[in-house]
Structure 1
Amino acid sequence: MLSLKLPRLLNMHQVPKGILFGYRHPKSSAADCLVSVFQMTNETVNIWTHFLPSWYFLWKLLAFLSARDVWSDRYTWPFLAYLATCCVYPLASSFAHTFSSMSSRARHICYFFDYGALAAYSLGEAKMQRQQLYLCEASGCHESVVPVHYRHTALALLTCFLFATHLPERLAPGLFDYVGHSHQLFHVCGIVGTHFQMEALLADMAQRREWLLAALPAPAFSQTLGPVLASTAVNLLLIAAFSMTLYSVPKFSRRKSKHRRD
């Protein structure tokens, strides 16, 4: 008879902590959080490595809008939806890292928005990939674009590796508290990977426009911008619902403990 032996659980003193110093006070004020952006903490690099790129992607979005008549050219709508989400997800992440130390509730709410923005980016990315890359093999991708896709893929894999392994701080706890720990490297690789992804998709869209328009119908609003807007609305409703739950649970706990005393 087969027997399953579960892994042994460890206590907090048996796990490599990795990051030992540089934490902000867990009940910081909003002003303290804003000031900490200009102070070296273990979150400072996390904040700036996503805040600055969000403005870079916004600049790319505005340049894309000014160079094309996107509202009458439905072919550009998948890329427009994708590029809009590229602006949102690093900005949401930057705000989450900035204000997450206000309280336990604030931390949860901040990362609700962070994960919601990542979900929107995933959908925007999927819309663009389906429209531009699905028939890449059949139509033949331009040779100059393939290396850019390779760079994006390699950075995506490296991003996953850093997030899962917590390297390098687990090898030298305390050494990478302020600069160089895995989450900072995760941020940098993710942003650079998004940049290469954006450049590859933009090149694909330009080089294969005639073939794609001949092979596929022009994308509709319900296939591009519509789903991204609808999913954003649903995400906001979910964030509101779960945020309200955070405020109702402590009251329930106090009532329960009061009944026990009675």
Structure 2
Amino acid sequence: MPSGVLGRLSALTLSIQQLGQLPHLSNWLPRLPLPQATVLASDVPSLFREPYILSGYRPVRQEWLSYFCSLFQCHNESLNVWTHLLAIPALLLHFSFGASGLTLNVASLPLFLYMLSSLTYLSFSVAAHLLQSHSELAHYSLFFVDYVGVAVYQYGCALGHYFYCSEPEWRHSPVGALFLPGAAVLAWLSCASCCYAKFRYRRPYPLHRKICQIIPTSLAYLLDISPVAHRLVTRSWDEPVLVFHALQVVFFVLSALFFSCPVPERFFPGRCDIVGHGHQIFHIFLAMCTMCQLEAIFRDYLVHQQSGEGVHGEHFILLAGGSFFLLVLCCVLTAVLMTGAVQRQLKKKDCKTF
């Protein structure tokens, strides 16, 4: 064999040997924690237990990364996470197809704020259900953030309903005159009351906790839906958009029912732990409500986009948009203050333990 060929073979062999001495690619990649086996309700603190859900809990106080990886694990929060996680791209696709060529201007500002509020509540819900098992502080803090998302969504709905879905006679009524400030106050109140109820009451939760949560959120919804309800009662249902408005009301009422009552797991304890418990059904109906609501608001926007600025006035629309971000700030500050109260409470608990 010619010496030149032998030299090239020797060089190639040496190169292969040197490559074998390099660190393996797996050594450079982050090591993902193995999926944690789920545990029974008796294996987690009472704070993390849900009524009639007996298994499928993730162990508490694991690495943060293990809870992120639990997105692809089967546990009793899996569908709570995925129902709202999948709703985010569905909502974005629905909006992008319907709003092709839409630009952000004064007339479309409430529509974009409504869309932002919808994505906010879905994202915050996903974060809360995915990560809340990390610790007591994480549990409280993330659900406070979840309540912020709900309040922001409430006011985003109010803006969309007021500027695109309301009739002139309703806007000139006492309810219409006080609608936006009332919607903002009730949205913040629902956030504050839910945070307080979460902080104040311990399992097994008394009826006072549910009342503290439901009354402000119900009042907020009744006010926010009032322009739509007025239209459904007074207008002919020849308009196809009213079908979507009616569907959003039906889906919301169904979601509220499953949020308020632990069914069907109450009648089948332990059999709905992974699939089929009430909070999962609540998530599904709420996501369907949001999809129908987006379709209805967008159809109304297309009808009123030319006249909206003239009817409401540019400054009034901008003022309403500014109030949206003021509400976000108030709700975030409320969640931060309540988180501080939780931290102080946990420190006292630790001191008593020692």
Q: Normalised by the size of structure 1, how large is the TM-score?
A: 0.82
Equivalents in 1 of 2:349, 2:68: separation in Å?
A: 32
Equivalents in 2 of 1:149, 1:255: separation in Å?
A: 54
Equivalents in 2 of 1:215, 1:66: separation in Å?
A: 25
Residue 124 of structure 1 aligns to a residue whose secondary structure is helix
Structure 1, unmatched stretches of 5+, are 1-11
- Contact persistence 1:88–1:117 (CA under 8 A): yes
Q: Give the number of the structure with larger relative contact order, counting CA–CA contacts within 8 Å between residues 6 or more apart.
A: 1
Corresponding position: 1:50 with 2:50? no
Q: CA deviation at 1:41?
A: 0.3
Matches of residues 83-102 of structure 1 in structure 2 within 5 Å? Answer: 83-102=115-134
Corresponding position: 1:112 with 2:144? yes
**Hey, what does 1:222 align to over in structure 2?**
319
Amino acid in the other structure paired with 2:112: L
- Contact persistence 2:107–2:308 (CA under 8 A): no
What CA deviation, in whole Å up to 9, does each residue of 1:59-112 have, x standing for no partner? 4556677622213xx111111111111111111100100110011111000001
**Hey, what does 1:8 align to over in structure 2?**
none
- Contact persistence 1:89–1:117 (CA under 8 A): yes
- Contact persistence 1:89–1:114 (CA under 8 A): yes
Equivalents in 1 of 2:280, 2:127: separation in Å?
A: 15
Between 1:179-188 and 1:205-214, the stretch displaced more is 205-214
Q: CA deviation at 1:113?
A: 0.5
Q: 1:237 to 1:65 in 2, by over 3 A?
A: farther
Identity %: 25
**Hey, what does 2:64 align to over in structure 1?**
30
Between 1:108-117 and 1:205-214, the stretch displaced more is 205-214
Structure 2, unmatched stretches of 5+, are 1-45, 168-226
Amino acid in the other structure paired with 1:220: I
- Contact persistence 1:142–1:207 (CA under 8 A): no
**Hey, what does 1:76 align to over in structure 2?**
108
Larger radius of gyration: 2
Q: Normalised by the size of structure 2, how large is the TM-score?
A: 0.62
Equivalents in 2 of 1:189, 1:31: separation in Å?
A: 30
Corresponding position: 1:234 with 2:268? no
Q: 1:52 to 1:195 in 2, by over 3 A?
A: same
Amino acid in the other structure paired with 1:192: M
Q: CA deviation at 1:186?
A: 0.5
Q: CA deviation at 1:19?
A: 1.5
